[in-house]
Structure 1
Amino acid sequence: MRMCSADLNLLEKWTWNSRQNATYAGDLTSDGYMSTQQLAQAWKQKFPGLLTDNRHDYLFKFVNDQRSSTTFRAFTEGLFRAQEDTYDIAKETDEKLLRPYKFCSSWVKNVEENNDTLTQLRTFESKQEYKEMITNISLRLGFNYDIQKELVKHMYQMCRYNKAWDVSQISPWCAVFTKEDLKRLEYAEDLETYYKYGYGTPMNQQIGCTGVKDMMDFFKIHVDKDTPQQPRSSVRLATAPALLLALGALGARRDSAPLTADNYHSAVALARRWTSSTIAPFNANLAAVLYKCTPNSNLQINEQYQVLFMENEKPMNLEECRVGLCNYTFVKNRFGLIADNCNLDFCNSATKTTGLIGFTLLFVFITKLL
């Protein structure tokens, strides 16, 4: 099957935008800025009693770089609907909390720089059906030989990023792929993230505990005082790896069997929860909201304190919870234990080193794709 003339014409006319350079990549696009503002407004509409106009009700935590600073500005503009100075909003730049993997030499050596981490990905890419995909893409583009698989990955990235950079236009690079091609490329990406940041490597859940500890410490202040405290909302602006590691520590998106190169066509893989495209889109978010409730047997509310977990604005699927709503006793027993045992001393063991009235809320935001 060849590309149709209309798609081929779009591809022939495509040129690289000189603005899309390393400097440009370090900041939000105009669409990204606007969507971040809209996200803040959407959350404020969901929780008007929590996300107030009082700036002292917030504590922001983000990395001190251009993208995170711009995301902070866009989000606060969305919250307060004004382009005003954010000097009086409490903020912290704790990089070890937000990017613990960057400061863990043991993780860098044994996971990030370990070739074994990508074994399942490499095996999947060596399979005949993946090679046939490369052949079909090559023929579709008019080549009589197989182009390099890295080139295919670059086109896959351009398909996605072109669309993100200009949502009103169709990326000509997307016409290169069939739906089945995109499914295979997505599965390859899922294999990479599953072992690099997810359940495929046990150390990942150890690293992800920092986000859980930060959440539980914040909740404890409010529960112990039995009344809302300031700040009422803790908002974290983080990266895709930080979100994936936090989800692993929470036990979310866990599948009944590990993802492997050999089970692409299995029922587990076809219905898998670990899908990078749905977990980590632009402006992905994770929220935990603490509620103080009146127990009601009809509503299955048997404890005063409840916690609602949400992923990308939808209730998170957690065991022993009801559509994302969990008894605080369950949260305290399960995640409190993780928080109490959150110790990253093992990070230094490697020899190689490298540089429903809610009143508390924890967010994790993604500022860039993997």
Structure 2
Amino acid sequence: MYAITVFLAFLAYHVTARESDYCLANDNEPYLYFGTKSAYNFMHGNLKPELTCKPIQIFVISRHGTRYPGSKVIPKMKTLLNLRQQIVFNHEERKMGHLCEEDLQNFKFWQLDEHVREDMADFLSPQGEADLKELALRLREGFPSLLKPNDTSRMNSNYLFESTKTQRTEASMEAFIEGLFGSKNAVTPKTAPQNDTLLHANKNCPTWEEATNNEGYYTEVKKFNEGPEMQNVLVNVSRRLGFTENLTLDTVNIMYDMCRFEKAWRIEKVSTWCAAFSKNELRTLEYREDLNYYYYTGPGRDINAKLGCPPMKNMFEHFRKLEGDNYSEEPKGIFYFSHTVTLQTLATLLGIYDNHEKLLASNFKYMAKRQWRTTFVGPFATNFIAVFYKCNDTRSSNIHNKVLLHWAERIVQYEGCNVGLCDWEFLKQKLGKKADECNMDFCYNSGPSIKSNFSMLNLLFSFFALVSTFNQSFYI
């Protein structure tokens, strides 16, 4: 009898173990690719300055570091406290659900971060400060001749700093300055203009906003939400957490946001809420965000490249002043701090992450190696770094102007450049015309042509779709 009891206990244990299809607590390589909410610490490359040439100027535009959620998301995150209790009840009382014991215990003791409150909405987090300080330190080590100043009296003329007028970008800029020079007060930043068409062009471009509202760019995301991949996510997550009926898309979205925000806030830990998802389900959710941004800010719409041109035009204006020998009036470093829309539309203009095939709701399984992947295009603190060099010709006394481009500290591999180091003349041929023709006049040309293809019914549908659940957590 004793032997039978032991056997049954053994069998019960292994049935339970089989039902726990995934145990996050025991995973030494958890999934970290969370689109625009990815932690920069895991996503950046290894900065490789070209040491055989003399750097003359560095041009940087960075997204703010890791922030807290927006005001629309915070109230929803608070509902997870009750959901957590229901998940524990499902497992312990109803004997339903498939979380392993370690993950269940983590749910039992999970608490909402004390900073997730309305008065901290969109504020930079401590990890966000660290993101920018560490970036500054790496740049300082990579370009000491530019960023280790000997003459502190010329700081404001040698270094240009500017951010958009938001707490998260201003605090990111301050953290970067402190990391670079040891004090937040080492330089005086330029005051952000009232109508910022350089770093916040999307907020000052009615035509782009109108096109975004009307063109139905979210159609593919809507199809994907209703398609088999996302429906499988809803079914699997609901069953894993012990629910007999499917959780809503809204609930799954907020669990996913908590999963990726918590990882970005505390990079040494994995969020309890990530245990709700398998790795395949996280890949599905990541693709959905890529699909959204592909049309919202990426190569899916021509207008996005137009919106991304002001920073590139600004870079060309500075770099053209370095062509000759007299460039003493130019700053050694130019640093801008902005948002994901600005960075992603710039990447779209530069053609860095353009796919040969469009991202669609129907081709998820064929896009595993897609170029447009917001985890790498636009994580927290992502950045574009361009360095202008003077290079000696080993075969003559000539000096050549060259430029090295990085995206998130990874070398941009343009065809026609030598391991990322491009002749300045080549870049002028490739991008100079776009820089010269860049203006924001199109932002104020909305009229019948924009609206002609849309009925009032479509306009109303677009309005309500824009305030729908999946959009509320994407764009801030």
Per the normalisation by structure 1, the TM-score is: 0.88
Shift of 1:166: 2.4
User: C-alpha displacement at 1:127, in angstroms?
Assistant: 1.4
**What secondary structure is seen at the aligned counterpart in 2 of 1:234?**
strand
C-alpha distance in 2 between matches for 1:294 and 1:125: 55
**1:289 is aligned with what amino acid?**
V
RMSD: 2.1
- Show the counterpart of 2:415: 319
The offset of 1:278, in angstroms, is 1.5
Q: Which moved more, 1:222-231 or 1:96-105?
A: 222-231
Residues 264-315 of structure 1 show CA distances to partners (whole Å, capped at 9, x for unaligned) of: 111xx11111111112222111101111111247xxxx97011100011110
- Which of these residues, 192, 203, 224, is aligned with residue 124 of structure 1? 224
Cα separation, 2, equivalents of 1:115 and 1:332: 33
1:28 aligns with 2:129: no
From 332, 350, 355, the equivalent of 1:232 is: 332
Q: Does 1:179 align with 2:275?
A: no
Alignment of 1:162-173 (within 5 A): 162-173=262-273
Query: Letter of the aligned partner of 1:277 in structure 2?
Result: T
Residue 160 of structure 2 corresponds to residue 59 of structure 1 = yes
- Shift of residue 336, structure 1, vs aligned partner: 1.3
- Determine the structure 2 residue equivalent to 1:69: 170
The one-character-per-residue Cα deviations of 1:206-264 (angstroms, maximum 9, x if unpaired) are: 11111110110010112145545431211110101100001111111111111111111
**Structure 1 residues 340-349 or 162-171, which shifts more?**
162-171
- In the TM superposition, 1:188-207 aligns within 5 A as 188-207=288-307
Distance (whole Å) between structure 1 residues aligned to residue 347 and residue 127 of structure 2: 27
The answer on whether the counterparts of 1:315 and 1:324 sit within 8 Å (CA) in structure 2 is yes
Amino acid at match of 1:324: G
**Secondary structure at 1:265 match in 2:** helix
Partner of 1:89: 188
After superposition, residues 239-258 of structure 1 pair within 5 angstroms as: 239-258=339-358
Report what 1:110 is aligned to: 211
Which letter does structure 1 place at the counterpart of 2:124?
L
Q: 1:317-356 to 2 correspondence within 5 Å? A: 317-351=413-447
Q: How many angstroms apart in 2 are the aligned matches of 1:63 and 1:272?
A: 31
Match of 2:142 among 27, 39, 46: 46
What CA distance in whole angstroms lies between the structure 2 residues aligned with 1:218 and 1:238?
19
Q: Does residue 313 of structure 2 align to residue 217 of structure 1?
A: no
Do the aligned partners of residues 39 and 160 (structure 1) sit closer, same or farther apart at CA in structure 2, a change above 3 Å counting? same
Give the superposition deviation at 1:90.
4.6
Percent sequence identity is 32
> Following the alignment from structure 2 to structure 1, what is the Cα–Cα distance between the partners of residues 444 and 405?
32
Matched AA of 1:313 = E
d(CA) in 1 for partners of 2:231, 2:399: 55
Answer yes or no: is the 8 Å Cα contact 2:217–2:296 preserved in 1. Answer: yes
Q: What is residue 18 of structure 2 aligned with on the other side?
A: none
CA contact (8 A) 2:175 2:184 kept: no
Normalising by structure 2, report the TM-score: 0.69
- State how far apart, in whole Å, the 2-side matches of 1:177 and 1:151 are: 13
CA distance in structure 1 between the partners assigned to 2:184 and 2:226 by the alignment: 54
How far the C-alpha of 1:161 sits from its partner, in A, is: 0.7
Distance 1:121 1:296 in 2: 53
Deviates more, 1:97-106 or 1:319-328: 319-328
Partner of 1:361: none
Gaps of 5+ in 2: 1-20, 22-97, 451-473
Match of 1:19 in 2: 115
1:142 counterpart SS class: coil
1:204 deviates by: 0.3
* Separation in 2, partners of 1:237, 1:245: 15
Total equivalences in the alignment: 347
What residue number does 1:280 align with?
A: 378
Equivalent residue, structure 1, for 2:254:
154
Largest Rg, 1 or 2: 2
1:142 and 2:238 aligned:
no
Which residue, 190, 202, 212 being the options, matches 1:101? 202
Q: CA 1:294 to 1:125, structure 2 compared with 1: closer, same or farther past 3 Å?
A: same
In 2: Cα distance, 1:84 partner to 1:158 partner: 31
Q: Which runs of 5+ in 1 are unaligned?
A: 353-367
Instruction: For 1:35, give the aligned amino acid.
Output: D
